[in-house]
Chain A
Amino acid sequence: FRIPQNNELSPPAGHVNFLLIREIHVANVASTGFCQPPTSAGGQQHESHGDLRSLSSSLFIIILHFLYEIMAVHGPVVKIHPVVLASIVDSYERRNEGATRVIGTLLGTTDKHSVEVTNCFSVPHNESEDEVAVDMEFAKNMYELHKKVSPSEVIIGWYATGYDITEHSVLIHEYYSREAPNPIHLTVDTALQSNKMNIRAYVSSQMGVPGKTVGVMFTPLTVKYVYYDTERIGVELLQRTRASPSRTNGLTTDLAQVASAAGRVQEMLTTVLSYIEDILSGKVMADNSVGRFLMDLVNKVPKITAEDFESMLNSNINDLLMVTYLANLTQAQIALNEKLVVL
């Protein structure tokens, strides 16, 4: 069989993969449109392939995850903003009773080498053993509404919570390929199967014998987290909720923020110092590149003569004090003015 060039599969694994894909493809062919349940003919085929399919799908999943670790990834790099992940987790928490997973659309921008996911919304869907129903109307509507706010975002794929890629995923993916040229599929493991929330992205590629049975395979992609500056600062603040037992956190006052930033720098300095002590006492091998970084660090403190520094410091402090004084004066003035005017 001809395996497309852009997949680096070791032959045995590829062979198994191909077989498994064929099973899924059968299911694909059997259900005509994905908003309708499979026809009776398809239903029969389901039953005959039922056992084999369940075995093959579990095997498929195992192999897929194994491959995710070792395979070189081809395809665009996926850059995700944290706002998307937050929305996904939130919509998972609000899922209907009985639904095991949530799906939704991903919006963002693409360019030649990467796909940037900046927004998402969840789409109601029903999923059971045999059928999958997704509210397409809703998805279109929401997309229109979102477009009014940010016209530059386009549909670039879809997400699903949960660990596996099921047969239904293939169908949904096909739907999304009608909306976007090369849709990305993102999975967020909210069930924390491996004690981590695995966030993975896939893109689908055709494989198989052209003209005969053609299957779909999900190739994994690298996922990077991208932040705007302000986003990073927001996330950093929100990180603090991890520490408190009630998971709450107030927004801190101004000086407290400077104090905490100073605390962080201090922590980092202590880490560096302990590392240096270890090297000096011979416990750890000295590393030249780290040494160079340390040199840089020490040289970064600018060498200014004491008087110059004093004068700079004093003038800055004077500026700030003057501004504070003016601000206080203005406030007093306003208060006085109010009393006079209202009289």
Chain B
Amino acid sequence: MICIKVYGLKIKLYFVPDPPATKFLSSVSVFQVVMKIIKHYQEEGQGSEVVQGVLLGLVVEDRLEITNCFPFPQHTEDDADFDEVQYQMEMMRSLRHVNIDHLHVGWYQSTFYGSFVSRALLDSQFSYQHAIEESVVLIYDPIKTAQGSLCLKAYRLTPKLMEICREKDFSADGLKKASVGYENMFEEVPIVIKNSHLINVLLWELEDKSTAADKHELLNLSSSTHLEKSLQMLMDRVDEMSQDINNCLFFIPLQYIQRRQQENAQRQSRGEPPLPEEDLSKMFKPPQPPPRMDTLLIASQLSTYCQTIKEFTSQNLGKLFMAEALQGTSSYS
């Protein structure tokens, strides 16, 4: 409540803050989870296959604590005798015996150069979030991590998007009504890593035994391959986007309208009464309005690509300036 005193009048303004978009402000992850995800990708995910798994943990006040995880096997050819649900149930039952939190709080997935926004992800995350309100999807980018800095992000669907998915109303009108743009599809949840004291002791031990020489991936100057790949993916997506837009345009019978207008203009010039404006909907079967969800997804993906590319270039600029400084001093010696 803000009170303003204006010339003796007291005007009370009620300041009502927006209800927070998400009740859960941050997710807390633990050393173990991060290591397991990294290891899972490293061992089973070489190539462009995504690796997936389930996150387990607890909800504490305004934080989502992720304390453990287990991986999902890849989809192999012998899918017939493999039941995912059963695997999950078995795993969770077993983990309960050893006092590991067995509550589902989300899932994780690895990504290839940042391309993770897809229909499949949306559907999975929607079903998770529908069942468990606080669930997140952790996206792990192994290639960016290999370049020097751990790249782990947590996303949730915004409530608006949840509404839309619930009603399955993906048409243009539906989206406009809920005012969902590509920017408010996913919201990022900040990740905080919290370790217990024993783990800290373990980290000291590991630090003891590791040499200083192995830690400098981040300062590697050669970045062109990564940049090329990212730009390639960006271009592919832009192509998809333009195709999608073209599809949208075809649904409006523009050509027919234009021809009609031309004819009317001609008739007017000849002094004849114009043709009656026929109801277009009787001439052409009203086509299905194209699903706008794909456009949204592509737009969101493009925006993510651009964001990662910008981060990458800013880092590289920093590194180049460092290299310049090094050259500069040596040229004086």
Contact = CB atoms under 8 A, between A and B. Distances in A.
Whether A and B are associated in the same complex: the answer reads: yes
Nearest to B219: A261
Contacts of A36: none
Given A122-B98, A124-B97, A149-B71, A197 B150 contact: no
A92 interface: yes
Interface string B68-88: 101111000000001000010
B306 interface: yes
Interface in B277-328: 292, 295, 299, 302-303, 305-307, 309-320, 322-324, 326-327
Contact of B194 (A123, A124, A241): A241
B180 to A, nearest CB: 9
B35 interface: yes
B202 A85 contact: yes
Interface stretch (B7-15, B140-148, B161-169): B140-148
Given A82-B206, A233-B146, A303-B330, 9 more contacts: A81-B35, A230-B42, A230-B142, A231-B35, A239-B207, A249-B193, A249-B194, A250-B190, A251-B191
A87 B32 contact: yes
Interface string B85-111: 001001100100111100000000000
B121 interface: no
A261 B322 CA distance: 11
B330 A317 contact: no
Contacts of A338: 181-182, 299
28 contacts: A81-B35, A85-B202, A91-B100, A118-B39, A142-B94, A230-B145, A233-B150, A234-B145, A236-B215, A237-B149, A237-B150, A238-B34, A238-B195, A241-B31, A241-B195, A250-B192, A251-B193, A255-B315, A258-B218, A259-B318, A261-B218, A304-B327, A323-B231, A326-B231, A330-B302, A331-B306, A334-B299, A342-B175
B137 interface: no
B198 interface: yes
Interface stretch (A55-63, A93-101, A167-175, A275-283): A93-101
Nearest to A262: B322
A178 interface: no
Contacts of B59: none
B5 interface: no
Contacts of A328: 306, 310
A249 B29 CA distance: 10
Given A232-B214, A234-B150, A330-B306, A320 B194 contact: no
B148 A257 contact: yes
A192 interface: yes
Interface in A159-217: 190, 192, 196-197, 199
B194 A93 contact: no
Contacts of B307: 327
Given A82-B206, A228-B38, A232-B214, A93 B90 contact: no
A306 interface: yes
B320 A313 contact: yes
B215 A232 contact: yes
Contacts of A254: 149, 311-312, 314-315
Residue among B36, B39, B82 with the most chain A CB within 10 A?
A: B39
A199 B205 CA distance: 9
Interface of B: 28, 30-32, 34-36, 38-44, 67-68, 70-73, 82, 87, 90-91, 94, 97-100, 142, 145-146, 148-150, 152, 172, 175-176, 181-182, 190-207, 209-210, 212, 214-219, 224, 227, 231, 234, 238, 241, 245, 248, 292, 295, 299, 302-303, 305-307, 309-320, 322-324, 326-327, 330-331
B interface, over-half SS:
helix
Nearest to A317: B320
A192 B317 CA distance: 46
Contacts of A313: 320, 323-324
A303 B191 CA distance: 43
B97 A138 contact: yes
Nearest to A85: B202
B310 A197 contact: no
Contacts of B196: 89, 93, 247
Nearest to B322: A262
Contact of A301 (B70, B73, B322, B327): B327
A1 interface: no
Contacts of B70: 149
Contacts of A91: 98, 100
Contact of A145 (B94, B100, B227, B323): B94
Contacts of B322: 258, 262
A327 B152 CA distance: 22
A241 B182 contact: no
